[in-house]
Amino acid sequence: MSKKDKDVILNEDLLSFYKESGVDTALTDVPIDHFNQAIPLEPQLNQACDISYHQKISPTIKSHTPLLNNPDKTQPVLSAVEIAKNAQTLDELKSALLSFNGCLLKLTAQNTCFSDGTAGSPLMLIGEAPGREEDIQGIPFVGKAGILLNKILASIGLTRQNVYIANTIPWRPPGNRTPTPREIALCRPFIERQILLAKPRILIALGSTAVQFFTGIQSGIIRIRGKWLTYENEDLKIPVMPTFHPAYLLRTPSQKKLTWIDFLEVKNRLNNL
């Protein structure tokens, strides 16, 4: 085999490695700020992180307003809104999501992670996006993060069968990267509808992406966790507890104490329903 042939094989292997790692853009001589090109998720992204219990979170339709400035990028979002709105049951919503091809994440994911647990439960937990194990099984919160979540629930006397679990993003982003604002905007109508149809009494937002979904704030979760928010969707007003994602706790065990405090707050609220 010639040196040229070996170089070709090495290049092909390298490209395959990049693809599996989630790399989808080649380097250029000029730096590009891809975040600047993304569509804003909320009009209030620059607001302060301190949110009181009584502060209201804008409903879905208002959060879509900035997208109307670009018709080419607006249409898939409007289509998602219409498709989600037409679903009258959770089964219909799941079927609609499985048929929706407006988000490119679906093309690279193995499965759609719609939900786990029991619909109609008083407590609904909403995570970020599926990881590798979730993508393989098509179930939210499995693997090490799922095992830890099970232990956290058990610590307040609950199991997965006592709660309803979903994600803000139902498809795994390549390489487990953070979902873009546009991807969140495309998936937002479905999780909004899922909450509306499930009708939980209390919500837990697990991780920064879930908190961003409820608040529009991109500055992280540390300052906002543990502070009750209120989520409004049509005639629903639901208290929301933001807290750390189990995957983050696996990397940062020192934050487990704060998460324990947050879940005790939730337990106390459940007991007073």
**pLDDT for 129-145, tens place per residue?**
999 999 999 999 998 99
Smallest CA-to-CA distance from 238 within 189, 192, 190, 186 is with: 192
> Could you give the 3-state DSSP secondary structure of residue 123?
strand
Enumerate domains of the chain plus CATH numbers.
67-271 (3.40.470.10)
Torsion sign (Cα): 16, 20, 25, 26: negative
- pTM score: 0.74
Write down the pLDDT at residue 31.
54
CA distance 137 to 113: 8
Write down the pLDDT at residue 226.
95
Length of the chain: 273
Write down the pLDDT at residue 212.
85
Lowest mean pLDDT among 55-59, 188-192, 215-219: 55-59
- Phi and psi at 180, nearest 5°, equal -75, 160
Pairing state of beta strands 202-206 and 164-167? unpaired
Determine contact, residues 190/84, Cβ cutoff 8 Å. Answer: yes
Pick the more confident residue, 151 or 273: 151
> Could you give the 3-state DSSP secondary structure of residue 69?
helix
How distant, in Å, are the alpha carbons of 116, 122, 152, 231, 263 from that of 195?
Answer: 13, 11, 22, 10, 20
Model confidence over 13-65: pLDDT tens digits?
Answer: 555 555 555 565 555 544 555 445 444 343 333 333 333 333 444 433 233 33
- Phi and psi at 230, nearest 5°, equal -125, 125
CA distance 191 to 189: 6
Mean pLDDT across 219-223: 80
What is the DSSP-derived secondary structure letter of residue 141? S
> Could you give the 3-state DSSP secondary structure of residue 87?
coil
Smallest CA-to-CA distance from 238 within 270, 190, 261, 212 is with: 270
Lowest mean pLDDT among 29-38, 164-173, 234-243: 29-38
